[in-house]
Amino acid sequence: MPQYWRTTLLSPIGQLHLLANQNSLLMLAFEQNLEPLLARILQPGCQTIDGLNNVLRAADVQLDEYFAGERKHFTLPISMRGTDFQNAVWNSLLKIPYGTTWSYSDQAHELKRPNAIRAVGTANGLNPLCIVVPCHRVVAKSGDLSGYAGGKTAKVWLLKMEKSQSFERISKINSLLNGPKL
C-alpha cells in the first residue's frame, strides 16, 4: 500500500499544503486547488500520514529560505504526474530564471509549440508544485498577471520579492566590482 505524508505550512502568502511520498515532493498547493490536486495524485487505498518525512522537512527548510530571500533555486526531489505535454510545460518552468518572467507565448516558443499558448496556460494552471516549479513567473504577453492558483495577490508578492532580491544581489555585485568610492 503506497504511503504519503502531508503537512500544511504557513507562509507570507498564506497556507501551503504539501504532499510527499518516501522519495519526492508530489504537491505544493494553495487551499483553492488542494482537493482537485489530491484527487489527481493520491492512489486508491493509499495511506496518508499527517506529519513530516525527510522530503517534507527539506521542503520546509527550503521554503523558509526562499521566503527569507536566501534561496533562489530549490534542490528538492520532485515528481510530477501529468501528460507528456504537461510534463514538458512544467519542466520548461524550471528554466525561467529567478527574478524574471516569461510570457505564455515565450513559454510556448521554448517548447517549440508557438500556437499552443492557451494549452500552455492550461497546463501551467494544473502545475502540482507551485513555487518550486515557478508558474508564478509566467505572465500575459501584455504583462498582465493573470491566472495563478494562489491568486493575483500571491503572484504579485512572489514576483516583487524575487525582483527585489535580484536587484539587491546585482547592486552588491556592482559594489564589489566598482570598489569603494573615494
Contact (CB, 8 A) for 55 and 20: yes
Confidence (pLDDT) at 145: 82
CATH code for the domain in which residue 10 is found: 3.30.160.70
| Mean pLDDT of the 66-90 span | 96
CATH code for the domain in which residue 95 is found: 1.10.10.10
CA pair distance 78, 127, nearest whole angstrom: 12
Residue 119 lies in a domain: yes
Q: Which residue range forms the structural domain that includes residue 37? A: 3-67
Residue 58 lies in a domain: yes
Name the DSSP class of 46: -
Write the pLDDT tens digit of every residue in 114-134: 999 999 999 999 999 999 999
Share of the chain above pLDDT 90, in %: 79
Please determine, for residue 32, whether its predicted confidence score (pLDDT) is greater than 50.
yes
- Spatial neighbors of 153 by CB under 8 A, at least 6 apart, are 13
- Catalytic residue, chosen from 63, 135, 149, 154, is 135
- Same domain? For 98 and 157 the reply is yes
Write the pLDDT tens digit of every residue in 152-168: 999 999 999 999 876 55
Confidence (pLDDT) at 38: 93
Identify which has the larger pLDDT, 99 or 1. 99
Confidence (pLDDT) at 12: 96
Residue 14 lies in a domain: yes
- Same domain? For 58 and 107 the reply is no
CA pair distance 170, 176, nearest whole angstrom: 10
CA pair distance 128, 181, nearest whole angstrom: 48
- Structural domain ending residue among the three candidates 67, 99, 123: 67
CA pair distance 26, 45, nearest whole angstrom: 17
| Mean pLDDT of the 53-70 span | 97
Confidence (pLDDT) at 167: 55
Active site (annotated) includes residue 46: no
Tell me whether strands 14-20 and 3-11 are parallel, antiparallel or unpaired.
antiparallel
| Tally of domains in the chain | 2
Please determine, for residue 101, whether its predicted confidence score (pLDDT) is greater than 80.
yes
Q: Is 176 exposed, middle or buried (0-12, 13-18, 19+ CB in 10 A)?
A: exposed
pLDDT tier at 170, thresholds 50, 70, 90:
very low
